[in-house]
Chains A and B, each alone.
Chain A
Amino acid sequence: MATTALVDPDTGLTQAQLAARHGLRVAGERPTLAEYSRRLWAYRHFIAAYANAKLVASYSNAKLGQLWQVLTPLTNAAVYYLIFGVVLAQNSIPNFIAYLTTGLFIFNFTQSAILAGTQSISSNLGLIRALHFPRASLPLSTTITQFQQLLASMVVLIGIVLVTGEPITLDWLMLVPALLLQAVFNAGVVLLVARLGSKASDLKQVMPFVMRTWMYGSGVLYSVSLFERLPGWATTLVQFNPLLVYIELARYALLEQAPLLNESLTQLWLVAAGWAVVAGIGGYIYFWRGEQEYGRG
């Protein structure tokens, strides 16, 4: 070795002792939760800029560009209306178009966030291996990108709701806290699947099936009154399905006569807030615990 200092207080120390004596820290060590949150806050500009950049980049090759933000949900609604409204003729629900599109857009917010979140670590390995930043920035900016998409589809939704003859009421204001709670819930779930997806790349293949099952359990395409025919415990289970709850809140806010599975509004809000808190905190802690593993192999 080239260390040839004549009188060095460091001679005779092991590498670890030497590092400890001079107060060096282990490279890539996981910070405490508080320190991690502080760093994440310092990176808020990056998170916002990255979310925006992804939104812009996602349609940059399409001729119609950002117009697809509105066209995609419209086309989706048209296809499902054709099948469930016209072909299968579901007449039992008043204002079925508005009922369907509300469910579809709210569900789609979580679905696309989760599908994108599964890959938010694995598709950004280049960035992760090159630069040092709190990794939670990536799944969080994925959630924000999807939230921006949601705002565009909400404009479409409100248009549909008005055209189909729903009156504007004070209840509409409930949409704002409902969507915010759902966004927090999404952020938590996205953090969870981001860590899972960073290890097991098979998750990407499985997620579409999980999401489809979830969709059928959330009463998006048909009347939620169908769930009342299930055995009692199953109905209770469905009542606590977070996506069903967020969808019901939106329907409660926008539609006058939509059938609802949860009769009590208080219960809806409690379940909605409960899921946001549990998923938000749980997902964040779970993601933080894996911080040093991202970007490896």
Chain B
Amino acid sequence: MVDSLPGADEATVSLPVLTPERIPTVVVDDAHIIYRVHQGATGGTTPVAALRRLVKRTNAPNVREVHAVKGVSFTAYRGEAIGLIGSNGSGKSTILRAIAGLLPVNRGAIHTQGQPSLLGVNAALLNDLSGERNVVLGCLAMGMHPDEVAKQAAGIIDFSGINERGDFASLPMRTYSSGMAARLRFSIAAAKRHDVLLIDEALATGDKGFRKRSEQRVRELREGAGTVFLVSHQLSSVRDTCERTIWLESGVLRMDGPTDEVIRAYEAYANSK
């Protein structure tokens, strides 16, 4: 890697360096993330209780704070593909959202190069609108130019395969099956080129044919992107795509190293539970 980078000349080391200098793209520095969840109506919802809370200035009981990430630090370098594994609720998706700048950190900091993009399947779109319109809207929301959107729209709909059983692209999205909607959302998100790419369980979408196509697409995206993060519960897809893996458990970094080692330790841990 011989890319020129700002400040490289001022601090060059006189010794011949065997490994080329590695350029960090994501630096996570002791990040803590706490978010509040509204649980909906549970206990203590009477007007009197609400009034008492107001007087005593306590939080509503249906708002709970979740300390999802507790002081995680790591550095990701250009050209790396990093898997994030851990049990449900270990903070994997949360930290991805924070790297994408979509969730603020409460303590510590996350530094990134450029604007990382999060590739998820749950990008919300407008259910009352047709698939075609959603494609245009989704692309514009990712910052594409209208000309580019017009060029790509047909390709996105083809890729999602929603038109395989009749003309669904012109029907409102609320008429889609959940698999179709997820496929369309993935296709929209995957249509853009990214510097730092964060993939959240997106490979598990749709039927077998679509999964094959989407894995191929992710490989292409990876070749174009500097750094790729992959959150997945399918250890096989982490093993296939990532050479480095980070294992999170209850918001704490348990292990960070070569994929094989980390997955072996994780499997031993998961089986012993």
Interchain CB contact under 8 A, B112 and A27 = yes
Interchain CB contact under 8 A, B258 and A21 = no
> Which B residues lie within 8 Å of A24 (CB)?
24-27, 111-113
Given A6-B18, A27-B112, A27-B116; A45-B101 close (CB under 8 Å): no
Q: Is A49 an interface residue (CB 8 A)?
A: yes
Chain A residue nearest to B245 in the complex (CB) = A2
Interchain CB contact under 8 A, B143 and A43 = yes
Chain A residue nearest to B127 in the complex (CB) = A57
> Which B residues lie within 8 Å of A126 (CB)?
122-124
Interchain CB contact under 8 A, B75 and A9 = no
The segment from B102-110, B153-161, B217-225 that touches chain A is B102-110
Given A6-B18, A25-B111, A46-B140; A1-B36 close (CB under 8 Å): no
In this complex, the member of B17, B75, B133 whose beta carbon has the largest number of chain A beta carbons within 10 angstroms is B75
* Cα-based distance from A229 to B244 in the complex (angstroms): 78
Q: Mark B14-38, 1 if CB is under 8 A from A, else 0.
A: 0101110111111111100001110
Looking at the complex, which one of A22, A132, A292 makes contact with B24 (CB distance below 8 Å)?
A22
Q: Is A265 an interface residue (CB 8 A)?
A: no
Q: Mark A264-297, 1 if CB is under 8 A from B, else 0.
A: 0000000000000000000000000000110111
Interchain nearest-CB distance for A11 vs B (Å): 10
Chain A residue nearest to B64 in the complex (CB) = A297
Chain A residue nearest to B78 in the complex (CB) = A22
Q: Is B126 an interface residue (CB 8 A)?
A: yes
Q: Is A42 an interface residue (CB 8 A)?
A: yes
Interchain CB contact under 8 A, B27 and A9 = no
Chain B residue nearest to A129 in the complex (CB) = B102
Q: Mark A15-56, 1 if CB is under 8 A from B, else 0.
A: 110110111111111000000000000110110011001101
> Which B residues lie within 8 Å of A26 (CB)?
109-112
Interchain CB contact under 8 A, B122 and A130 = yes
The segment from B92-100, B162-170, B263-271 that touches chain A is B92-100
> Which A residues lie within 8 Å of B105 (CB)?
27
Q: Mark B71-86, 1 if CB is under 8 A from A, else 0.
A: 0011100000000000
Interchain CB contact under 8 A, B100 and A1 = no
* Cα-based distance from A57 to B124 in the complex (angstroms): 15
Interchain CB contact under 8 A, B75 and A15 = yes
> Which B residues lie within 8 Å of A21 (CB)?
7, 11
Given A8-B22, A27-B116; A1-B256 close (CB under 8 Å): yes
Interchain CB contact under 8 A, A60 and B172 = yes
> Which B residues lie within 8 Å of A43 (CB)?
140, 143
Interchain CB contact under 8 A, B109 and A16 = yes
Q: Is A7 an interface residue (CB 8 A)?
A: yes
* Cα-based distance from A32 to B125 in the complex (angstroms): 29
Q: Is B115 an interface residue (CB 8 A)?
A: yes
Interchain nearest-CB distance for B34 vs A (Å): 8
Interchain CB contact under 8 A, B123 and A27 = no
* Cα-based distance from A37 to B5 in the complex (angstroms): 28
* Cα-based distance from A70 to B100 in the complex (angstroms): 43
Interchain CB contact under 8 A, B98 and A45 = no
Q: Is A253 an interface residue (CB 8 A)?
A: no
* Cα-based distance from A42 to B145 in the complex (angstroms): 9
Interchain nearest-CB distance for A69 vs B (Å): 16
Q: Is B118 an interface residue (CB 8 A)?
A: yes
Interchain nearest-CB distance for A288 vs B (Å): 16
Chain A residue nearest to B106 in the complex (CB) = A296
Interchain CB contact under 8 A, B36 and A297 = yes
Looking at the complex, which one of B99, B110, B143 makes contact with A42 (CB distance below 8 Å)?
B143
Q: Is A133 an interface residue (CB 8 A)?
A: yes
Interchain CB contact under 8 A, A27 and B99 = yes
Q: Is B55 an interface residue (CB 8 A)?
A: no
Interchain CB contact under 8 A, A28 and B124 = no
Interchain CB contact under 8 A, A127 and B124 = yes
> Which B residues lie within 8 Å of A8 (CB)?
17, 19, 21-22
* Cα-based distance from A50 to B142 in the complex (angstroms): 13
Interchain CB contact under 8 A, B110 and A27 = yes
Interchain CB contact under 8 A, A53 and B146 = no
**Which residues from chain B sit less than 8 Å from chain A, CB to CB?**
5-7, 11-13, 15, 17-19, 21-30, 35-37, 73-75, 97-105, 109-113, 115-118, 120, 122-126, 128-129, 133, 136-137, 140-143, 145-146, 172, 244, 256-258
11 further contact pairs, Cβ within 8 A, besides A9-B12, A15-B28, A24-B27: A7-B18, A24-B113, A26-B109, A26-B111, A27-B110, A28-B103, A28-B104, A50-B141, A57-B128, A127-B141, A297-B35
18 contacts between A and B (CB under 8 A): A7-B15, A9-B13, A15-B109, A16-B27, A22-B23, A25-B111, A27-B98, A27-B101, A27-B110, A29-B101, A49-B137, A54-B126, A57-B126, A60-B172, A127-B123, A130-B102, A131-B142, A132-B101
**6 closest Cβ pairs, A-B complex:** A126-B124, A28-B101, A297-B36, A19-B111, A15-B29, A130-B123
